[in-house]
Structure 1
C-alpha cells in the first residue's frame, strides 16, 4: 500500500471516530493560542484583568437573574440554581475574551472561540437532570411521568441513530403528500436533475419564465413546503411561469461527478430547454449552493460565442448565496487544509459525503440549539417536539459526491477562486464581471451558513445594477418568508452599475426599511423587468411521460 493510501485509510478511520473533525486542525489552533499567549506579556496582563473584573462582576451580580434563555424558567432564580447559571454565564464571558489573543492567525482565533463555546455548551448545567431545576420540578409535579416519557424518547432517538432508517417518521409530511404539492410535470430528466414545470393558475403570465436552482445539499422542496408557505405556489399565483430542478441523491457510482457537471447538467441544460420552450429571456434564481452554481452558469453564458447557443437572462437572483468565500462565517471555522484532507479521505473510502455526516456538521455548528436544547426538552422534560414541514424537510438529508464536494471546498472556501477570477469552468476561465443581467440579491440577518456581509460582497464582483435585500430570519426561515407571516420585515437598496460600491455599513445607513415579506418586492422586481407583454399561460407538456411533480428523484433516500 502506498504511503498516501495508508494515510487516507488512517484519516478515514479517524474521521469516523471524531465525527469528521480533524484533530490536527484543532491542535494547531490550540498551539497557536498557547504560544501567542505565552509570548505576549501584555495579553497575559489583559487576561488577568479580565479574570479579576469578571470575578468582581460575578460577585456583585450574584443575585441578578441570568440572561441566557436556557435558564429562563423561574426555578433557576433560586439557590443553588441561580449560582450555577450565573457561574456558567461568567465562564462563557471569560472564554469569549481570553480566546481572542492578538497575534493569532484569524482562523485559529475563530476556531478557539468556537471550540470554547462548544465545550461550554456541553457543560451547561441545563444538560443534566441533577443540575436542572426545571426538569426536577416537572418530575415531581408529574410523579415521575416526565422522566418515564423522557426515557422512552431517549430510547427512540438512540434507536433511530443506530438504525439510520431513512423512512420519514410522519408519512403525512412527505413530498407529494402534504409537502411539495404544487401541481406540475417533470419536463426533463438527466443523470443529475429532474426539471419540474409548474402548472399556471392565472389567465395571463409574465413573458419571462422563472427558473429556480435550489441547493443540492438538501432536497429541493424547501421552496415548496406546505401550500401556505410554498414560494413556488406563491410565484405561480402571481402570474409567473416557474421551473425548478430537483437534484438526484447520488450513490457511490457518482463519486467522480464534478462541480462543473453540476453546473452543466443542473443549470445550463435545463436553462437551454426552458428558453426553447418559452422563447424568452429567463429569470435565473439560485438558493445557497444553487446560487453559486447559478452565478458560475451566468458567467459562463456571458462568454459563450456562436456556434454555441446563447440563453439570454432577464435577471439573476441570488438567495443566501455566496460568491466570495473570504469571510464565510461559522462554516469557515471547520474548513482548512487539514479538515478538507480528512473529509477527502473519508469521502474517498465511500464515494460521497453522506447525508448524516453533512447533518452532523450543521448540528456541531449549532450544538446548543440542535443537540443540547433538543435533548433537554425530550430526555429531561419528556416533551416531544411537534413535527412541522420545515423539520420534515430538514430530516430528509442528501449525499454529496466526493469529487464535487472536494472541488467545492478547495476552489471556493480555500482558494476563493470565483471571487479572485481564477475559477475555470470546463477548462476555460469565467469572471463574474462578464455577467450582464441585473442582480437581485437576498441576505438574511441571522444566517450562519451564508452570512449576509459575505453575500453582500457580490457588489465588488459584478458591474451590473444590484438590488440588495436584507431580511430578518436565518438561512432557511429568512428565505421562506411568505406574505402574511407575522413579524417579517426587510430592508432594500439599489446600487447602479456605474455607481460607487457601498460597504455593508454604508448600505445599512441608506437602505429603505419595509414591513412584511420580501417576496412582494421580488415579484415586483421580476415584473418590472418584463421582456414583453403578458402571454397566455404555459401548461407543462406531459407527453414525455416523465411523471408529475414532485418527480422521482426527491423520493430517493439512503440508510447512512
Structure 2
C-alpha cells in the first residue's frame, strides 16, 4: 500500500525474535497486542481521571507575601523576617520564585526564619518591557544593586542560588566579595555536557523560531522540561488519581502543579545566552562565560560554599552540579535524597535540604580546622 511503513531489517529481526518468544510461551501476537492495548487504555483512563481531579481540587495558594524592602522594575526583594544571618535567595529566571515559599509546612524560607536565619527572596517577576532586553549581565547587575540596597548593606550576607539562580549568585559573589561572606548553591548546573550525548545536538536552532515578542514563551519552556522525563506527566497524574483529595499529599501535589503551570517567559537575550552559550557551547566549563568582562570562575571564589546535589534530579544532572563543587576551593557538598523541586518544597524537603542548610549556616560562625585565612 502506498505510504505504508516498512520495518527496517533490524526491526524485522526484532519482530521475529518477539514472535518466537511468544510462540515458545504458548502465546499469540494477537494476545500480546490485546494485552498491550488494554493496559494502555487503562493507563489513559487513570491519567485523565487524575487531570480531572487536579482541575476540580479546591486548593488555592493563600500565603501572603512578606514585606517588600526593595524593588526595581519587575523585581522585588521580599523579607521573610527572622533573626540571625541574612541569607539572600536567588531563584531561577524561568519559574516563579515562590517555590521557596510554597505553602504552610512547605516553605523553606519560613522554616529558616523560624530557626535562626533571616531569609530574603529576590523575586525576579515576569519580564516587562525593560527586562525583555536584559541579558545575564543585566540580571547580575540588578542583583548587585539589591545587595547594595538599604535593607541589606549593613553587613556581608550569605548568597544562596537555586538552579540557574545559583550561577547568577556565583557571578555576583565573584564581582562583589565585599558584600558576600558565603555562597550556597542548590541544584546549580555547571558542566552542561554532563549526562548528555557527545557531541550533544545543538538546541538553540530549535528554540530560535519561538523567540516571539522578545521572549521564549512559557509553553516552550514547559515542553523542554517535560522532555527531560517524557513519561513523567502521565505517571504523576495516574498516581494523583489514587490519592484521597483531602490528604496532605494531594494538597502538596496541587500546590506544586499550580506553581509549575504558573511559569514566566524567558527574555530572548537570556534564552540565547543560556541555551546557546551554556547548553550548546558549555561556556562555563570552558572558562568562556563572562559577566561585564569578568570570567565567572568558581576557583576564584575565596569564600565558604555549600553545594546541594539532589540525587534524583532530572533537570540538573548530579554530575553537572558536582563539577561546580569540584571547582570551588572551600565547598561543603551535600547530597540530598530528593529531586530538583522536591529538595526545596517536597514532603521530605526538611530532612533533604532545610536542616542541612541550617546546619551549614550555623557552622559559618565557627572556625574550620585547616581553613585558609583568605577563604573565610
Q: TM-score, normalised by structure 1?
A: 0.55
Q: 1:527 to 1:359 in 2, by over 3 A?
A: same
Which residue does 1:429 correspond to in 2?
A: 295
Rounded Cα–Cα distance in structure 2 between residues aligned with 1:448 and 1:81: 37
Residue correspondence of structure 1 range 231-380 to structure 2 within 5 A? 231-251=108-128, 254-265=131-142, 267-273=143-149, 276-277=152-153, 279-302=154-177, 310-313=178-181, 315-327=182-194, 329=196, 336-337=201-202, 339-347=203-211, 349-371=212-234, 374=237
Cα deviations by residue, 1:208-264 (Å, 9 ceiling, x for unpaired): 311111112111111101111110110000111111111120146643211111112
| Residues 440 and 467 in structure 1, CA contact (< 8 A), matched pair in contact too | yes
Rounded Cα–Cα distance in structure 1 between residues aligned with 2:296 and 2:130: 29
Displacement, 1:345? Answer: 2.8
SS of match in other structure, 2:145: helix
Rounded Cα–Cα distance in structure 2 between residues aligned with 1:341 and 1:61: 49
Cα deviations by residue, 1:409-430 (Å, 9 ceiling, x for unpaired): 1221122222222112112333
SS of match in other structure, 2:285: coil
Rounded Cα–Cα distance in structure 2 between residues aligned with 1:186 and 1:441: 28
Which residue does 1:11 correspond to in 2?
A: none
| Residues 217 and 265 in structure 2, CA contact (< 8 A), matched pair in contact too | yes
SS of match in other structure, 1:229: coil
SS of match in other structure, 1:350: coil
Which residue does 1:8 correspond to in 2?
A: none
SS of match in other structure, 1:520: helix
Q: 1:524 to 1:48 in 2, by over 3 A?
A: same
| Residues 444 and 472 in structure 1, CA contact (< 8 A), matched pair in contact too | yes
Residue 355 (structure 2) pairs with residue 473 (structure 1): no
Rounded Cα–Cα distance in structure 2 between residues aligned with 1:220 and 1:398: 10
Question: How much is the aligned-residue C-alpha RMSD, in angstroms?
Answer: 4.1
Q: 1:170 to 1:374 in 2, by over 3 A?
A: closer
Cα deviations by residue, 1:379-403 (Å, 9 ceiling, x for unpaired): xx9x998762112211111110111
Displacement, 1:126? Answer: 4.0
Q: 1:199 aligns with which of 71, 75, 81?
A: 81
| Residues 419 and 461 in structure 1, CA contact (< 8 A), matched pair in contact too | no
Which residue does 2:370 correspond to in 1?
A: none
SS of match in other structure, 2:343: coil
Unaligned residue ranges in structure 1 (runs of 5+): 1-37, 39-43, 64-78, 89-123, 139-145, 158-167, 303-309, 490-515, 533-560
Residue correspondence of structure 1 range 110-125 to structure 2 within 5 A? none
Which residue does 1:173 correspond to in 2?
A: 60
SS of match in other structure, 2:286: coil
Cα deviations by residue, 1:16-70 (Å, 9 ceiling, x for unpaired): xxxxxxxxxxxxxxxxxxxxxx9xxxxx99x99977776666666789xxxxxxx
| Residues 60 and 255 in structure 2, CA contact (< 8 A), matched pair in contact too | yes
Unaligned residue ranges in structure 2 (runs of 5+): 1-7, 368-376
SS of match in other structure, 2:263: coil
SS of match in other structure, 1:367: coil
Displacement, 1:528? Answer: 1.0
Displacement, 1:170? Answer: 7.1
Q: TM-score, normalised by structure 2?
A: 0.79
Rounded Cα–Cα distance in structure 1 between residues aligned with 2:274 and 2:112: 30
Q: 1:422 to 1:373 in 2, by over 3 A?
A: closer
Q: 1:438 to 1:59 in 2, by over 3 A?
A: farther
Rounded Cα–Cα distance in structure 1 between residues aligned with 2:176 and 2:43: 59
Residue 44 (structure 2) pairs with residue 187 (structure 1): no
Displacement, 1:135? Answer: 7.5
Rounded Cα–Cα distance in structure 1 between residues aligned with 2:87 and 2:239: 43
Rounded Cα–Cα distance in structure 2 between residues aligned with 1:284 and 1:369: 32
Rounded Cα–Cα distance in structure 2 between residues aligned with 1:133 and 1:247: 42
Rounded Cα–Cα distance in structure 2 between residues aligned with 1:274 and 1:170: 42
| Residues 73 and 130 in structure 2, CA contact (< 8 A), matched pair in contact too | no
Rounded Cα–Cα distance in structure 2 between residues aligned with 1:390 and 1:440: 25
Which residue does 1:409 correspond to in 2?
A: 275
Q: 1:472 to 1:377 in 2, by over 3 A?
A: closer
Q: 1:55 to 1:250 in 2, by over 3 A?
A: same
| Residues 441 and 467 in structure 1, CA contact (< 8 A), matched pair in contact too | yes
